[in-house]
């Protein structure tokens, strides 16, 4: 369930993840990744500031939370893959980059599959133009875990051919990435349904406890620094 008390913590956890991965990636990747990492940090910083201190649109916050949940594992898989391929196997920059993108591509393919696979939208509760994520506890669906394991095995033969011990870690992260996509199927569909609802009604949904969020922002000097006047958001 969405809690105002953890509002900032969830946002900056996503920011910290990207900053950490970007910093670690610089140490194990070709020089041009410095520019890519810097761009990623800047974009993520702007996104998090927008979510934390400026917008009152629930969709913007939900997009960030979904990004955090679904990108954690594939980003670590990409990081480990880059470290192995570029630092240990001494592959060229282009080849190492192509390999490190494999976990990300597999995750995106799984996400695309989920987007055409009808799900439920009961994780959102509406009250006028306000919405709340109720996120009820979900039992683990073992068929989803099996499907994630099957898809992640596509990367295993490629890594096993090089006989690198750390490929087991890549295998684990890829499995977790695919599992999280299928496990979050209802949340993905709920967010897509909310966006369609906004477009159809030409409106913007805000947080159910938006007053409490405004109070948190007003109590923070960063919130006052980045504050904007809410204009229907």
Paired tokens of 164:
């690198």
> Pick from 211, 66, 62, 199: which is nearest to 124 by CA?
62
Q: Which whole number is the average pLDDT over 110-128?
A: 79
Domain-located, residue 231 = no
Domain-located, residue 133 = yes
Domain-located, residue 230 = no
Domain-located, residue 99 = yes
Percent of the chain with pLDDT over 70: 79
β-strand pairing of 130-133 with 124-127: antiparallel
Domain-located, residue 70 = yes
Tell me how many domains the chain contains.
1
pLDDT range class, residue 209, cuts 50, 70, 90:
confident
If one counts every other C-beta atom within 10 angstroms of the C-beta of residue 77, the result is 27
Domain-located, residue 119 = yes
Domain-located, residue 233 = no
pLDDT in tens, 62-102: 999 999 999 989 999 999 999 888 888 888 889 999 999 99
Range of the domain at 113: 4-225
For the chain, the DSSP string reads ---GGGHHHHHHHHHHHHHHHHHHHHHHS-TTHHHHHHHHHHHHHHHHHIIIII--BHHHHHHHHHHHHHHHHHHHHHHHHHIIIIIIS---HHHHHHHHTHHHHHHHHHHHHHHTS----TTEEEETTEEEE--------HHHHHHHHHHHTTTHHHHHTTT-TTHHHHHHHHHHHHHHHHHTHHHHHHHHHHHHHHHHHT---EETTHHHHHHHHHHSHHHHHS----S--
- Supply the pTM of this predicted model: 0.77
- Note whether 179 and 148 are within 8 A (CB): yes
185 by Cβ neighbours in 10 Å (0-12 / 13-18 / 19+) ranks as buried
The average confidence (pLDDT) of the chain is 81
pLDDT at 35 over 70: yes
């Amino acid at each position: 369930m969405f809690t105002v008390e953890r509002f900032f913590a969830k946002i900056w956890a996503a920011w910290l993840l990207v900053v950490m991965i970007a910093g670690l990636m610089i140490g194990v990747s070709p020089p041009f990744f410095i520019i890519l990492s810097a761009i990623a940090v800047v974009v993520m910083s702007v996104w998090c500031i927008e979510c934390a201190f400026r917008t009152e649109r629930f969709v913007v916050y939900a997009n960030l939370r979904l990004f955090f949940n679904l990108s954690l594992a594939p980003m670590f898989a990409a990081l480990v893959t880059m470290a192995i391929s570029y630092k240990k196997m001494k592959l060229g920059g282009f080849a190492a980059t192509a390999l490190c993108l494999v976990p990300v591509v597999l995750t995106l393919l799984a996400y695309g599959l989920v987007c055409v696979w009808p799900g439920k939208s009961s994780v959102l509760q509406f009250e006028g133009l306000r919405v709340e994520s109720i996120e009820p506890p979900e039992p683990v669906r073992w068929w989803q875990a099996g499907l994630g394991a099957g898809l992640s095995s596509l990367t295993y033969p490629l890594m096993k051919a090089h006989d690198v011990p750390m490929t087991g870690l890549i295998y684990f992260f890829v499995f977790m990435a695919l599992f999280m996509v299928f496990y979050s199927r209802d949340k993905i569909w709920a967010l897509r349904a909310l966006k369609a609802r906004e477009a159809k009604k030409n409106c913007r949904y805000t947080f159910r406890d938006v007053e409490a969020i405004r109070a948190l922002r007003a109590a923070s000097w960063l919130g006052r620094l980045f504050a904007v006047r809410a204009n229907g958001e």
